[in-house]
Amino acid sequence: MKRILTVAVILLILSALRLVVVPGTNSGTLQAGTLAPSETEQGIDQGDGIFDTTVKGLEQFYRFTGIRNAKGGHLIMIAVGLLFIFLAIKYDYEPLLLIPIGAGIIMGNIPFYQEGDVNLQVGIYQEGSVMNYLYFGVMRGVYPPLIFLGIGAMTDFSSLISKPRLMLLGAAAQVGIFLTFLGALWLGFDMRESGAIGIIGGADGPTAIFLSSRIAEHLIGPIAIAAYSYMALVPVIQPPIMRLMTSKRERLIKMSPPRAVSQTEKILFPIIGLIVTTFISPSSLPLLGMLFFGNLLKESTRTKRLAETARNSMIDIVTILLGLTVGASTQADRFLTTDSLVIFGLGALSFMVATAGGILFAKVMNLFTPEGKKLNPLIGAAGVSAVPDSARVVQNFGLKEDPSNHLLMHAMAPNVAGVIGSAVAAGILLSFLW
């Protein structure tokens, strides 16, 4: 009771001071972005009594609270954000991605006053807000190339260099992208929207954001959330498909260890890879250029400080900004639509088709491979570019079948090839749909 009385007295004192210091005026002009004078404000400006002024001030305060502006969609999205954080902490599902995204979803769905042309500079879509400035990096595709720079600086391409034929598995997994593109067209999306949706099948969040920012800006939110969600759910989605598409005998195949790769080969690979891939698909230069540049920093052995910064501090900062802003872009009024649900469904289908495509192509390659050199088809599942999670899933799945069968190094080859393949696919779609 004492606390209530104290608050009431403070409000009365503040109201009295306001009447004394700022006498009621009725200015005919308003600054841009401010509220139009409502009945409540007019009442305050006309010099009402202290009690009436306090009541109307409280009514004004209430209009601005999240409690008054909350809708069912806000609560649903906040629950989704909490689910992301729960999955990241409880089950270790991509915590570096899901925790920032989950926090961003909650921040983006805190309800605030949006009536009329009011701009409180709070929401991510409100010009001048901090989140809107940070979101620029998503809308203009700035963050994805920086992520690729960090990935390149931490990736070892030795397994791919030692067995270049495994690059075909990474290419085969991209079939999910193009099949989903056709599926989206069939469901009524236009060409550009279908291309942006299809890239989810690459299981590469930065690539999905990069492409959608170029050809379907209005779908960045659902596409990015779908891509990162399926990346995090790799340990859940892939094992059933791997079990369904392989026999016990195939899962027990042991592959010969990759050969040793010289430092010269490691240095030449990013240079040759950059030239070849970007000549094929120049539109993918922002992604592949940064990927191979980051790898050159790592392998040159002369730029250790730069490589260390790229794969640690820089990629961590960009991941935080990217996760928060992508999450915050899912405002309920823009995200909770039928299109978003369809995109999530197509994304799941795309990811499953990509996984199956890599496994199936590994089985086809075995038809033309002599005994002793056959591939374990499980590594085909790593052709999706969720690095290094898909490779880890293959490793863990193989160890359950045979504790002595280590597939990680073999799976990393199609895994990193998938990163390159999805970026090339994005460039091809961009050149067709621009």
Give the per-residue SS3 of 355-396. Answer: HHHHHHHHHHHHHCCCCCCCCCHHHHHHHCCCCCHHHHHHHH
State the Cα–Cα distance between residues 415 and 408, nearest whole angstrom: 10
Token readout for 429 is 């779609």
Mean pLDDT across 327-356: 91
Q: What is the structure's pLDDT at 3?
A: 60
Mean pLDDT across 401-418: 94
| 116, pLDDT greater than 80 | no
Q: What is the structure's pLDDT at 48?
A: 57
| 38, pLDDT greater than 50 | no
Of residues 42 and 58, the one with the higher pLDDT is 58
| 330, pLDDT greater than 60 | yes
| 115, pLDDT greater than 90 | no
Q: What is the CA radius of gyration of the chain?
A: 27
State the Cα–Cα distance between residues 73 and 79, nearest whole angstrom: 10
Q: What is the structure's pLDDT at 55?
A: 84
At 2, the pLDDT band (50, 70, 90 cuts) reads low
Of residues 206 and 23, the one with the higher pLDDT is 206
- Return the closest-CA partner of residue 199 out of 396, 370, 427: 427
Mean pLDDT across the chain, nearest whole number? 87
Of residues 229 and 243, the one with the higher pLDDT is 243
Q: What is the structure's pLDDT at 387?
A: 86
Q: What is the structure's pLDDT at 20?
A: 39
**pTM for this model (two decimals):** 0.85
Residue 196 CA: distances (Å) to CA of 69, 101, 350, 391: 33, 20, 12, 25
- What are the φ/ψ torsions at residue 402 (nearest 5 degrees)? -150, 105
Tens digits of residue pLDDT in 91-106 = 988 899 999 999 999 9
Tens digits of residue pLDDT in 16-25 = 444 433 444 3
Mean pLDDT across 61-85: 92
Tens digits of residue pLDDT in 254-306 = 998 888 999 999 999 999 999 999 999 999 999 999 999 999 999 999 999 99
- The domain locations on the chain are 72-109+119-134, 137-433
